[in-house]
Amino acid sequence: MRPITAADLMSPDVLTVRDDLPVADLAAFLMRHDITGAPVTGAEGRLVGVVSVVDIADLVSDDAEIAADRSEPDFLYRGREATLSEDELEELEIDDEDLTVADIMTPEIHSVSPGAPVSEVAMKMLREHLHRLLVLDADDRCVGIVTTSDLLGLLVDEGR
Is pLDDT of 14 > 50?
Answer: yes
Q: Which domains does the chain have, with CATH numbers?
A: 6-158 (3.10.580.10)
Is pLDDT of 119 > 90?
Answer: yes
pTM: 0.74
**pLDDT number for residue 73:** 38
DSSP 143-160: EEEEEHHHHHHHHHHHT-
**pLDDT number for residue 155:** 82
Express each pLDDT in 23-72 by its tens digit: 989 989 999 998 889 999 998 888 999 998 888 888 777 544 444 444 44
